[in-house]
């Protein structure tokens, strides 16, 4: 079950207490609406908590976006690692205000376009607030959150987004939706995924990163042998029986105007919902119930070392 940030400010083990605030965001029904009809997007607010390292003026910040099970202790631990290194952390809670507990069994409770919108809205708010360095704002997403940060980085050039994303760290992201032109400009991108991941296909992650490289972007990836989904958690590998997954389904590509391209039928209509496109993968036999997640061996340590190395390099300038 998701942990909601509006339940109270969190104090990290290093003694730093978060500040809870609300992000003005929206609920676009489709990527087309988000990009081509932003005025039609229904407004909403979600919760966030910012953790600031002591005695550092305008530090860099990393926005941490959870996956389908919401905020967990593993995400709070990221804030501790980041603040210990002199970086701010902003934990994002996409679920609480939307009255969602989990999307593992049903990803259509709100759109992936809305997840990307949340990321851009949070970066814009942090930029306007002036507490952190606006040139060093990074976004880190896990699973569905990984999809969100990748989509947001590509959407930034297609919208009136105010701000810039220095880096995007996509942890075991679902890459079943990608922009046909994924260009993210100067944003540095890295993905990390396990080769035993039953939720997200490592090969699809590779393909997404290579597409970014072909656009001239600074993109890299790492595959961890023997690692399962969410291998950065402090919990052993377990089966999530209700999980609905289709990792081998063909990729849904998105045009610059937000129109999605059906893998078989070609461009959809502006009104076509993500759920309709995803159902193709299920009907084509790629869907299944039940998938594992969790950590074993030293996989969590490997993840955190890679994560911190990325952010140190990204913010070094």
What are the sequence ranges of the domains in the chain? 5-315
Confidence of residue 109 (pLDDT cuts 50, 70, 90): confident
- CA angle, 63 then 78 then 48, to 5°: 40
Most confident of 66-80, 164-178, 232-246: 164-178
Question: Hey, what are 44's tokens?
Answer: 């909403």
Specify whether the CB–CB gap between 60 and 114 falls below 8 A: no
Cα gap 32→29, rounded to integer Å: 8
Bridge partners of 123, per DSSP, are none
The torsion angles phi and psi of 12, rounded to 5 degrees, stand at -75, 165
Chain-wide mean pLDDT for the chain? Answer: 94
**Structure letter (DSSP) for residue 65:** E
pLDDT value at residue 60:
98
What number of residues does the chain have?
A: 317
Reply yes or no on whether the pLDDT at 2 is more than 60: no
pLDDT value at residue 1:
37
Question: Hey, what are 30's tokens?
Answer: 């489709």
Confidence of residue 3 (pLDDT cuts 50, 70, 90): low
pLDDT in tens, 253-288: 999 999 999 999 999 899 888 888 888 988 899 988
Specify whether the CB–CB gap between 67 and 146 falls below 8 A: yes
pLDDT value at residue 7:
76
Q: Which CATH number fits domain 5-315: 2.60.120.20, 3.40.50.1820, 1.20.20.10, 3.10.20.600?
A: 3.40.50.1820
């Amino acid at each position: 079950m998701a942990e909601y940030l509006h339940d109270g400010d969190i104090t990290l083990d290093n003694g730093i207490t978060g500040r809870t605030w609300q992000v003005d965001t929206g609920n676009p029904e489709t990527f087309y609406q988000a990009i081509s009809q932003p005025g039609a997007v229904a407004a909403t607010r979600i919760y966030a908590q910012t953790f600031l390292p002591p005695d550092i003026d305008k530090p860099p910040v990393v926005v941490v976006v959870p996956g389908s099970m919401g905020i967990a202790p593993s995400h709070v631990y990221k804030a501790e690692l980041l603040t210990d290194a002199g970086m701010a952390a902003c934990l994002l809670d996409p679920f609480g205000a939307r009255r969602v507990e989990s999307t593992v069994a049903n990803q259509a409770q709100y759109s992936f376009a809305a997840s990307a919108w949340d990321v851009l809205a949070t970066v814009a708010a942090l930029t306007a607030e002036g507490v952190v360095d606006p040139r060093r704002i990074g976004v880190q997403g896990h699973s569905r959150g990984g999809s969100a940060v990748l989509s947001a980085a590509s959407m930034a050039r297609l919208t009136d987004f105010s701000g810039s994303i220095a880096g995007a760290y996509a942890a075991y992201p679902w890459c079943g939706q990608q922009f046909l032109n994924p260009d993210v400009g100067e944003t540095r991108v890295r993905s990390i995924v396990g080769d035993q991941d039953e939720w997200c296909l490592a090969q699809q992650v590779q393909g997404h990163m290579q597409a970014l490289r072909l656009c001239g972007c600074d993109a890299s990836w790492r595959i961890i042998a023997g690692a399962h989904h969410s291998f950065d958690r402090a919990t052993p590998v377990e089966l999530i029986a209700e999980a609905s997954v289709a990792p081998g389904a063909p990729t849904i590509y998105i045009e610059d105007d937000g129109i999605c391209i059906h893998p078989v039928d070609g461009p959809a209509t502006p009104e076509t919902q993500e759920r309709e496109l995803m159902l193709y993968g299920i009907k084509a036999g790629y869907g299944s119930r039940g998938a594992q997640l969790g950590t074993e061996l030293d996989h969590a340590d490997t993840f955190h070392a890679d994560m911190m190395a990325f952010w140190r390099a990204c913010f070094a300038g």
